[in-house]
Structure 1
Amino acid sequence: MAKLSYKVPSALNRSFLDHEITLSKGGWAARPSPIKQLLFFGSGILGVLWFSTSTFVSSSGPAAITFFVLWSLAAIAYFGGLMKTKELRIMRVPAFLAYLPPKARHVFTRRSSNPTAFHSIVGIDDVDEDGLVHFSDGGKGQVYLVVGSASYLLFDDDRVGILDRVDSFWRKVETSCEHGFITTKEPQRIYHQVANLEQRNQALQVRDPDLVELQNEQYDILTQHVGGKFTSIHQYLLLKGKNIDALRKGHQVLQAEVGGSALMIKEATMLDRDEAYPMLRTFYQGIDDELLNLKASLN
């Protein structure tokens, strides 16, 4: 039976500092706080007292000391606050400082530029012809085009069945293989329609000008309108294993799920290199350039 509500489970790398305690039964202190937050507040207050009494701040005058104490306490209260992930806000400071320089916010992709910065973002060394993705950290991956069963028009029994099936699937997944679901809005795929139109063109025995013009018109509609202006939602699943064996196990679990039931995933199509590249270009090249490449390849 599907649960009525779900929660994010506790991380496996929790330490002693992540345990939460309650200081009192009523008031603001009744909210549980992790030990690391209490230690941060305590050490921050002691540091403010030491700076205001034993350093040059103590000789700055009452107004300056009061301003320094109030500003320091406000900073401690803000950076000691918890984010949704139960981490202190001060943990964002290193990432902010690394992003602050202008050169860290721009990645040059010219052929003459150093590819190190771009490679650190992509993290992909190569994609084999069969679609096997080689990551820079040694992991192996595979991209699938998936079709799910979720809809606003589901009956209650179908919704419960899907939730139960999803819960059962994630219980079988091993931690050595990551599952990344990617949702993109891309031009509609018209490869099969264009191929069918080309077959009709080759099978045309009478080269009547009106028939040829009609086929050219259909070709222009497919390439310039349906495959260029109209976009649709596509969902991909990126399996990333620590090694090739972990990826193979993840593929077996996914294949068993698709073959056993259509509740969670109706279809899962493994993509080769030529099919995986357009999906990656959506992130690293942009949709506008992708549309231009699609039109150039069809023409």
Structure 2
Amino acid sequence: MALTDQAQALLDMVYRVGAPRFHELTVEQARHSFEKLQFVFGGEPEAVASTLDLPMSRPDGSVLIARLYRPLEAGPTDVLPLLIYYHGGGWCVGSVQSHDSLCRRIANRAGCAVLSVDYRLAPEHPFPAAMEDTLFAVEWAQANADALALDPGRFGLGGDSAGGNLSLVAALMLRDMRPGALRCLCLIYPCTEIESSRPSRESYASGYFLDRESLSWFFERYLPDGGAHDWRVSPMQAASLAGLPPTIVVTAECDPLRDDGIAMVERARSEGVAAHHIDVPGMVHGFVTLGKWFPEANEVVDRISLQLRSYFRKIAVSD
């Protein structure tokens, strides 16, 4: 299938006006451009029951900021399941604010709390900083679950693009450290391998929003010392995916990362993981946060949220 009319129109607009792509910008310019894109084309922010910006203090005295959303349906003392969410942006751009509308919609539709994490970004903080923040956020949320009215037995991880990569890496670490710590995993067009020769990398390498050069721009800043085959960077290099919790994987048809995501689904299933795959026709990488422009974005978020709600369902002791 070709690009949808909306996707084609967005790409025509971007390339017609000659808007610079990420690899043609400084880091600060790229961050500003990304935030502007989300502001112009992102979904309208829904009302939620509450939001709370949380400073998560590390043992060394530094602070990691995250934003906690509670859904409209929840009372202030209701104990809720939690999806810890890591935003996309190639480990270099993006923020809690750029993904605010998305996290609000997930919270309301899935009926869970969402903790959106402002992990450290490259190139100021290259690998393994973001990975360390990802795991720390889980540990902090578990330790503070009672104070935040969260159910530590119903935690999940989610993220888009680079955030999907971080979620998958953290899930593999938690599998080895504390089996059963996670109820579910939600990966939206995740980066599962830095280096890949699967067909979509070439088929959609130019003119489909996430160009080959932009991918390289992100990878070089996240991994200035190399290490693309480290499984903590390329989780498809892990010895096994067995033991992961039920996993949602979203792929976009016209995305250079699509075939890598499909390969991850196929491998996970072959190793006993309950992997639920949603492939979205005619879409490009990054569409999920652009709900004002793409009706498919809201449709997919609603499908994801319904699946998350089922994963987070309370299970009776007798089950």
TM-score range, shorter chain: under 0.3
- Bigger-Rg structure (1/2): 1
Instruction: Give me the TM-score of the superposition, normalised by structure 1.
Output: 0.25
